[in-house]
Structure 1
């Protein structure tokens, strides 16, 4: 949370209401109602996964996860999963308790060497800061810039994964020219409840949701061109770069039945499949029934969360 000095009474007036993610007061004070508590890295008793933090820059870090399979003595290299947290670009961290639990479980289930990326948040650091930090972290991971990655990671089996805003980041990175030019090891991308939107409602999107989605996007990305039809928010908008340019061999899009973003996720999967042609789909869509947005972070032990984890792990393991 950050604060600024304002005139008497200004602090009580909310000028931007993006609850429960962010409240912005006229004084400049920011309130993040569901700010996630941080936990330290270490050995996870439930999975045996070991984690540690690595500083990437003065304003970003990565939390690395090494599963017990890495210590088996087989010498077999493991896939590398680079994960980007969600939170509307305004909350969340690689050190958040919910993401720490998620990455321990994911690293063990695949098994894989996992890299959870921390990036700067808006509005203190508007988009594209999050994209820039994420790109730098991915370049570092692809270059095996850490002993764990160098010793145990397979540079030919690198996956991007992320939820909500993190899913948006995954798409942005997979479309980036620098990543496309050196995409030999980028095997696949997993978009979990990705935050995409657009000016015109699709499917069953309620028009009541448009104000929130549009307002938050334009707030975190004041340089957005075309509002919520900016290609970074709407990758299927007219004039957006062609999805055939995704720098990965395969794509898994995960949606939730009770999530207002589900129609955008389905549209994205369909658009990627069309762009790749019927003979080269490489696109999977997985829908979790009866649950909402990022439910697996809130209830990691629930059966639906285990089903989602198993599907992602199978996607990473498949040749």
Structure 2
């Protein structure tokens, strides 16, 4: 039996036990089927939105799709405020650059998913920024670190791109942002980018915006226990997402899942020296909130400039799904500009 077959079998056995205890089938809840070859059949595709590249249309934000790596089928959707076309890209009117990584437990969604497309449109318009939303490879077909590699590759692609829309971006004011699994990706891509600051010039990362970042660990946190049967993100689903996305043979205390393991990444000292600012958004109604607080505590301990912005109530995904909460993210961005 191959290693992949053993992994698939192990996955079934682990989650048969979880389902028996929780009376919940995470596969059914997510509407997916795990195939014998380790791929997923996704029985429902979230709504998608086309780009709006035509500058003659009365839209506040233009958008278009560009290929990053054809062999990996990775691409990005670029968002440009329409007002930027009124100015030459060679003037002092250049806009901040936000590189955004979508969420979805590493298994779902894309840069053209309506849920994230609408958020990026609002963000580009509200903050008057150029937004590059990266479409990375998904697990389990491409387990981590594939998404991290794609996300860093996107930074190298941006810095060498000749696309006229990107000429409106101020590469010296670049922020990496992600929501949920995308927040995990933004954090890890940031760690990797910190080791490559000379290679990604003229891109100059100023900070990380982590919106309810998806992290885990083998020991349950109080918020995970308190919200174990949360309707939005119950434990059987988060456990399954990790099992399908982490490298074969590791558990949730691996560095991709648990950023606090072994005292945190050594490269955080570099992030401190670079003066990056980090913001972590969370809500008390999210089972992941204690993980997010742990990350804030780690960064504080390492001397990184970090702010934790936590709100009462809420749910996982609220900062993207609820425009009134999205504004809290946009308002912070405007203070950073």
1:219 counterpart (240, 244, 247):
244
1:60 counterpart (74, 78, 101):
74
Could you list the runs of 5+ residues in structure 1 that have no partner in the other structure?
Answer: 1-13
In structure 1, the partner of 2:133 is: 116
Please state how far the C-alpha of 1:238 moved relative to its aligned partner.
1.8
- 1:24 matches 2:45: no
In structure 2, the partner of 1:228 is: 252
- 1:204 matches 2:220: no
Could you list the runs of 5+ residues in structure 2 that have no partner in the other structure?
Answer: 1-14, 17-24, 229-233
1:185 counterpart (204, 209, 212):
204
TM-score (norm 2): 0.78
Q: Deviations over 1:213-257 (max 9, x none)?
A: 3332122123363x1111111110125423333366100111122
Contact 1:47–1:105 (8 Å) recurs in 2: no
Give, in whole Å, the separation in 1 of the partners of 2:187 and 2:221.
20
Residues 161, 47 of structure 1: alpha-carbon distance in 2 compared, 3 angstrom cutoff: farther
Aligned-pair Cα RMSD in Å: 2.8
Please state how far the C-alpha of 1:27 moved relative to its aligned partner.
5.8
Give, in whole Å, the separation in 2 of the partners of 1:19 and 1:259.
22
In structure 2, the partner of 1:195 is: 214
Give, in whole Å, the separation in 1 of the partners of 2:159 and 2:249.
29
Q: Deviations over 1:121-147 (max 9, x none)?
A: 112222222122111112212334422
In structure 1, the partner of 2:180 is: 164
Contact 1:19–1:33 (8 Å) recurs in 2: no
Q: Deviations over 1:69-96 (max 9, x none)?
A: 4124273111100000000111011001
Please state how far the C-alpha of 1:315 moved relative to its aligned partner.
4.2
Please state how far the C-alpha of 1:24 moved relative to its aligned partner.
2.4
Q: Secondary structure at the match of 2:46?
A: coil
Give, in whole Å, the separation in 2 of the partners of 1:104 and 1:27.
39
In structure 1, the partner of 2:151 is: 134
Q: Deviations over 1:24-65 (max 9, x none)?
A: 246668454663111110069896111111011221110001
Contact 1:159–1:316 (8 Å) recurs in 2: no
Contact 1:21–1:90 (8 Å) recurs in 2: no
Q: Secondary structure at the match of 1:205?
A: helix
Q: Secondary structure at the match of 1:206?
A: helix
Contact 2:40–2:140 (8 Å) recurs in 1: no
Equivalences, count? 296
Q: Secondary structure at the match of 2:213?
A: coil
Give, in whole Å, the separation in 1 of the partners of 2:120 and 2:195.
27
